[in-house]
A = this chain, B = another copy of it.
Amino acid sequence: MNYYSEKDIRDIVAKVVNSSLGEAPAVKGNASGGGEGILVEVSARHVHLTVEDVETLFGKGYRLTPKKMLSQPGEFLSNERVRLVTDKGFMQNVAVLGPERKRTQVELSATDAKSLGINVPVRLSGDLDGSGDMLIIGKEGSINAKECAIIAQAHIHMTTEDAQTYQVKDGQRLSVQLASDRPVVLENVIARVKDKSKAFLAMHIDFDEANAACVNDGTKAFIVKRW
């Protein structure tokens, strides 16, 4: 067995951790020291609808029509648009994502929520109990949707293989650096791990987070590991 002196230990500790106090790295870069970074996709405000709500908003028997496929398998931006209305304001021409879901959900940024004058919780997709209400207006009708509006919690979609590579588990909270010219570390980013057929490696953030970090097309995300 090897034995070490106090000084040896100080040297080892200094090697293991960054010994500078309070001084942050000046340059953008790879916070995890390893991989090539994760694709960052910025979500604008959008709506997911049930089949029933699609019919109320666009007409009996109507189904959402794909305009553009998104990175997550099967998901698409539809040609349909809705208007969101509160007693304080409205937003028009809001994107509807397909396919239809089991529950109607409105995803806003904090900036949107303020401009609409409503309190909306930060939540993962699908976690809607106690979330905000919203009047949604379509071409053929409107719905007064209860508990549907959230600010989407930042998350990383990944396959089970990616999860192994990054050594993370489904649902795990991660600290993730947006390695832009104005770098920001988002805490409480959730790993969403699915089978390869249902997931594509990408981090999803909203426009507040993107603008706070001045994210552009080339910006990558790096999971911050704590040693």
Task: Write the residues of chain A forming the contact surface with B, with a CB cutoff of 8 angstroms.
Answer: 1-6, 8-9, 12-13, 16-26, 109-111, 114, 122, 151, 153, 166-168, 172-175, 177, 181-189, 207-209, 211-214, 223-227
Chain B residues within an 8 Å CB radius of A187: 24-25, 177, 183-185
Contact B182 A185 (CB under 8 A): no
Closest to A151 in B: B214
Question: What CA separation (Å) do A109 and B213 show in the bound complex?
Answer: 11
Question: What CA separation (Å) do A109 and B167 show in the bound complex?
Answer: 36
Copies of this chain present: 2
Chain B residues within an 8 Å CB radius of A17: 16-17, 226-227
Chain B residues within an 8 Å CB radius of A225: 21-22
Given A185-B184, A186-B184, A187-B183, CB of A22 within 8 Å of CB of B211: no
Chain B residues within an 8 Å CB radius of A26: 173, 188
Contact A24 B188 (CB under 8 A): yes
Chain B residues within an 8 Å CB radius of A227: 17-19, 21
Interface centre among A110, A122, A208, A212 (most CB of B within 10 A): A212
The listed residue (B1, B16, B25) touching A13 by CB distance below 8 A is: B16
Contact A22 B111 (CB under 8 A): no
Chain B residues within an 8 Å CB radius of A109: 211
Chain B residues within an 8 Å CB radius of A184: 184-187, 209, 212
Closest to A205 in B: B212
Chain B residues within an 8 Å CB radius of A114: 211
Contact B173 A226 (CB under 8 A): no
Given A24-B173, A211-B111, CB of A5 within 8 Å of CB of B6: no
Chain B residues within an 8 Å CB radius of A9: 4, 9, 12
Question: What CA separation (Å) do A181 and B173 show in the bound complex?
Answer: 14
Chain B residues within an 8 Å CB radius of A214: 110, 122, 151
Chain B nearest CB from A185 CB (Å) reads: 4
Contact A172 B5 (CB under 8 A): no
Chain B residues within an 8 Å CB radius of A209: 184, 212
Chain B residues within an 8 Å CB radius of A18: 226-227
- Considering the complex of A and B, which 7 residue pairs feature the smallest CB-CB distances, nearest first? A212-B212, A185-B185, A208-B211, A110-B211, A24-B175, A3-B3, A183-B187
